[in-house]
């Protein structure tokens, strides 16, 4: 089965955020990929408990920055309009 790569879509990784339970990547198109455990909702709402492969997060607008506080259990996403998503 062929794999789809970011390069094939002309996308680049803008930022990587690591927490103690999950990882998130901000792409050049403002989309966010995340994987790991969903114990603290890092992967968004839904039934997913653990994602072994990156999942595209369903966010209502493009993201410009990701942050993970020192506690290491959540990730914040700042949108183009200034809205912060947790």
Between CA 81 and CA 72 the distance in angstroms is 25
Q: Taking Cα atoms as reference points, which of 12, 19, 24, 29 lies closest to residue 66?
A: 24
Q: Does the pLDDT at position 2 exceed 60? A: no
Q: What is the pTM of this model?
A: 0.81
Mean pLDDT, to the nearest integer, of 73-85?
92
Q: Does the pLDDT at position 42 exceed 80? A: no
Give pLDDT tens digits for 50-68. 888 888 888 999 999 999 8
Per-domain boundaries in the chain: 7-85
Give pLDDT tens digits for 4-34. 566 667 889 999 998 888 899 999 999 999 8
């Amino acid at each position: 089965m062929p794999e789809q790569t970011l390069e094939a879509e002309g996308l680049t990784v803008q930022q990587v955020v690591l927490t103690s339970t999950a990882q998130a990547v901000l792409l050049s198109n403002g989309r966010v990929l995340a994987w790991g455990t969903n114990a603290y909702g890092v992967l968004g709402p839904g039934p997913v408990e653990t994602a072994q492969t990156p999942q595209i997060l369903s966010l209502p607008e493009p993201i410009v920055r990701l942050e993970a506080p020192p506690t290491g259990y959540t990730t914040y996403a700042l949108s183009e309009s200034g809205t912060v998503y947790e």
